[in-house]
A = this chain, B = another copy of it.
Amino acid sequence: MSKSNNVYKDAYNRGLRLLGETKSLPSEPELGALLGVSRTTIRTILARMEETGLIAWNKRSKTVLRAPRLDDFFPEEETDTLSQIIERSFMRRLLAGGAEAGMQINELELAREIGVGTTSVREFLIRFSRFGLIEKRRNSHWVLKGFTRAFALELTEIREMFELRSAAAFAALPEDSPVWADLDLLEDEHRLLAREIAARFNEFSELDERFHRLIHRASHNRFIVDFYDVIAMIFHYHYQWNKAQERERNEVAVAEHLAYIAALKSRDLGKVDAACRGHLKSARNTLLTSIPDRAALPQP
């Protein structure tokens, strides 16, 4: 097996959802744009849809014959990218404990355990290295630096520097910039979530990311924007791992976001600075309390 067809399977699943909405499907290039894949993949999808009796396909005409059933969909786990699979496995190991700082990481062992080739693991580790949690010894193994207190502090230090600057840039944006409309939409979503926080508190994580990414984009600096990948990654797994007081934490955070948004809209740099600092401080504390306070091992 050399390459899984997860792109096809994922696009196929998303394609099935289109069937409920129309009587006939659009042209191949249009479908390609819609699903974000090439025509080659679209044609493979259409061929299968015809085979399973979902559509009648003859050149331009692609008539929907029936609505998709549950068993028409490919299983979720077959639509994942290899790198997603590797990332999940790796992070599970990392967070499942026993991942002491200084520990060696073995490409071959990881690859065998996950059941993939070494090349994919290597590429994953190289990409992952920019998160500052692992480090390569030339011609030798990778070293785990550990998800330590020091790491969290270094991460949040940069985050605060970048976000304060981005927030200031945001507030200085002209009246007619489209970001203000985006901000209004996000504000509405926050209010809605605040009202139903008891039931929907676990939807905050996704909203949080969209909100902060909007602000960082105002910096117009690719290094700042890209750095949010590091933060998002860490917070993503941190949220999955640490569910303690999740509801309360998120409720507080939503309120802080609303204050932050109000400050941005006021365009008062002093208020923006204060609201941003306040929110980032509690984000940092949340992260810190979830990290066990054992001393980091000395680095060789």
Q: Which residue of B lies closest to A145 (CB)?
A: B222
- B7 and A132 within 8 A (CB): no
- A157 and B122 within 8 A (CB): no
- B221 and A154 within 8 A (CB): yes
Q: Which residues on B sit within 8 Å (CB–CB) of A220?
A: 154
Write the A149-165 contact mask toward B (1 if CB under 8 angstroms, else 0): 00100110110010001
Instruction: Check if A272 is an interface residue, CB within 8 A of chain B.
Output: no
- B139 and A221 within 8 A (CB): no
- A158 and B127 within 8 A (CB): no
Identical chains bound together, number: 2
Q: Which residue of B lies closest to A220 (CB)?
A: B154
- B165 and A161 within 8 A (CB): yes
Interface size for A (C-beta < 8 A) is: 25
- B130 and A221 within 8 A (CB): no
Smallest Cβ distance from A35 to chain B, in angstroms? Answer: 12
Instruction: Check if A226 is an interface residue, CB within 8 A of chain B.
Output: yes
- B132 and A130 within 8 A (CB): no
- B154 and A223 within 8 A (CB): yes
Q: Which residue of B lies closest to A129 (CB)?
A: B127
Q: Which residue of B lies closest to A221 (CB)?
A: B154
Instruction: Check if A99 is an interface residue, CB within 8 A of chain B.
Output: no
Instruction: Check if A203 is an interface residue, CB within 8 A of chain B.
Output: no
Can you list 27 A-B pairs, Cβ within 8 angstroms, ordered by A?
A7-B139, A119-B119, A122-B123, A123-B123, A123-B126, A126-B126, A126-B127, A130-B130, A130-B226, A132-B222, A132-B223, A132-B226, A145-B222, A151-B222, A154-B220, A154-B221, A154-B222, A154-B223, A155-B223, A157-B221, A158-B221, A158-B223, A158-B224, A161-B161, A161-B165, A223-B227, A223-B230
